[in-house]
Amino acid sequence: MSHEIILDGSKGEGGGQILRSSLALSMATGKPFRIHRIRAGRKKPGLMRQHLTCVKAAARVCSAQVEGAELGSTALSFRPGPMIPGRYSFAVGSAGSSTLVFQTLMPALITTGRPFEMTLEGGTHNPAAPSLDFLDRVYLAALRRMGVQATIKVERRGFFPAGGGKWTIAVATSGALMPLHVPERGRMLGRTAKVLWNRIPPREPERARAHLSAGLGWDPADIESEEALDSPGPGNVILAELRYEHITEMVTAFNPFGASPEAVCDGLMADVRRYQEHGAPVGWRLADQLLLPMALGAGGLFRTMPLSTHTRTNIETIGLFLERGIEVREMERGVAEVEVSEGLP
């Protein structure tokens, strides 16, 4: 049995990322770990329902021995067995993010080189989590450049706080993962925005569309409004997509009920302008998410915006499981170049 890795879940921002990354790394490397002070930096520390689903899903996929897998637990022991790709179904059982459950399992499963399929139930559009649109259009788009083939089928979307979404993803890899190199964006191919809503006054999405068009200077035809009739509960999400030759970025804004559409749009537009003016190809959210598949695969290089606490915490966590060089170089205009050494992890 490999030596047990000890982790402190209060490091960095003190959220659930250390746990999710450790699960993925443990599954892929076969190295057991023990984590204490789980989510110590959050208002409600310990395992919430979506984190517990991540643990149980990971344990099921690799027949792991687990201690501490219960709601509110602040300590966990995880001893993985061999991974078993196949067909799986996981339900968060609340509005907890189903996309975070998927991102916990994905980096490890794609290293097997074998196909797998997952059906997930829970939230698909949650604050502080990648939306299902981001997952498909941005995250998976980058992984497809590494040789991953993935297809998403959405049965219904689930907005926070009601949740209730359901979707299936089928994944295959064509041999060993390829290195990912994204030093620049390339030429711009297009830009679109979508106001995604359900069970709110229709005038609010139209106000958002008009404000986005005027504020960004985009053609109104590039900003659509979609009523998500498949969602069990109400919601209002705004998505701005910027497509380039080598990368796609998506900025997302969630409208807490009671906020004006214009105020929500102002925040999104500020993020869009910040990304456009900065010049780095990989947005700060995607930078964090690319590290695990690159470190478990064939490495590569990308340029991004100043590293978030999430990303720095991820780099530190990866270093505990893998003898894999991850070098961060500060460049001009606040650009950070991240290089993951190539070769076997």
The CATH number assigned to the domain holding 53 equals 3.30.110
pLDDT at 345: 47
C-alpha dihedral over 253, 257, 258, 259, to 10 degrees?
Answer: 0
pLDDT at 2: 64
Q: Are the beta carbons of 197 and 237 closer than 8 angstroms?
A: yes
Whether 57 and 110 map to the same domain: the answer is no
Whether 174 and 192 map to the same domain: the answer is no
- Among residues 278, 301, 331, the one where a domain terminates is 278
**Beta partners for residue 70, in sequence order:** none
> How is the beta sheet containing 65-67 ordered, strand by strand?
5-8, 33-36, 75-79, 65-67
Average pLDDT over residues 146-163: 95
pLDDT at 13: 81
The H or E element that residue 33 is part of is strand 33-36
Model confidence at 241: pLDDT above 60: yes
Average pLDDT over residues 317-332: 94
Is residue 153 in a domain? yes
Q: How many CA atoms lie within 13 A of 26 on its CB side?
A: 34
Whether 49 and 1 map to the same domain: the answer is yes
Whether 204 and 146 map to the same domain: the answer is no
Whether 154 and 123 map to the same domain: the answer is yes
Model confidence at 237: pLDDT above 50: yes
Residue whose C-alpha is closest to residue 81's, from 101, 59, 53: 59
Is residue 65 in a domain? yes
Whether 264 and 311 map to the same domain: the answer is no
Residue whose C-alpha is closest to residue 251's, from 291, 233, 278: 278
Residue whose C-alpha is closest to residue 160's, from 219, 201, 100: 100
Q: How far apart are CA 270 and CA 215, in angstroms?
A: 10
Whether 129 and 194 map to the same domain: the answer is no
Residue 279 CB contacts under 8 Å (≥ 6 apart), including other chains: 185, 333, 335
pLDDT at 62: 97
What does the chain come to in residues?
345
DSSP secondary structure string for all residues of 132-173: HHHIIIIIHHHHHTTTEEEEEEEEE--BTTT--EEEEEEEEE
Find the catalytic residue in 51, 125, 211, 310: 310
pLDDT at 340: 97
Residue listed under structure tokens 């990989």? 282
User: Can you give the residue range of the structural domain that contains 20?
Assistant: 1-81
Whether 165 and 228 map to the same domain: the answer is no
Tell the burial category of 240 from Cβ atoms under 10 Å away from its Cβ (0-12, 13-18, 19+): buried
Give percent of the chain above pLDDT 70: 99
CA angle 165, 192, 159 (to 5 degrees): 20
Q: How far apart are CA 160 and CA 125, in angstroms?
A: 6
Average pLDDT over residues 102-127: 96
Whether 115 and 89 map to the same domain: the answer is yes
Give the tens place of pLDDT for each residue, 177-203: 999 999 999 999 999 999 999 999 999
Q: How far apart are CA 289 and CA 311, in angstroms?
A: 8
Confidence band (pLDDT; 50, 70, 90) for 343? low
Calculate the alpha carbon distances from 262 to 75, 191, 238, 276 in Å. Answer: 43, 20, 11, 21
CATH classification of the domain holding 142: 3.65.10.20
Is residue 125 in a domain? yes
Average pLDDT over residues 88-104: 93
- Among residues 38, 55, 81, the one where a domain terminates is 81
Residue 182 CB contacts under 8 Å (≥ 6 apart), including other chains: 142, 246, 247, 281, 282, 300, 301, 302, 303
Whether 271 and 320 map to the same domain: the answer is no
Is residue 321 in a domain? yes
In sign, the C-alpha dihedral spanning 176, 177, 183, 185 is positive
For residue 34, the one-letter residue type is R
Q: How far apart are CA 98 and CA 136, in angstroms?
A: 13
Whether 92 and 173 map to the same domain: the answer is yes
- Among residues 64, 81, 98, the one where a domain terminates is 81
Is residue 183 in a domain? no
Q: In the annotation, is 125 catalytic?
A: no
Is residue 203 in a domain? yes
Q: How far apart are CA 88 and CA 263, in angstroms?
A: 40
Number of domains present in the structure of the chain: 4
Whether 241 and 310 map to the same domain: the answer is no
Q: Are the beta carbons of 223 and 230 closer than 8 angstroms?
A: no
Q: How far apart are CA 265 and CA 294, in angstroms?
A: 33
Average pLDDT over residues 214-229: 96
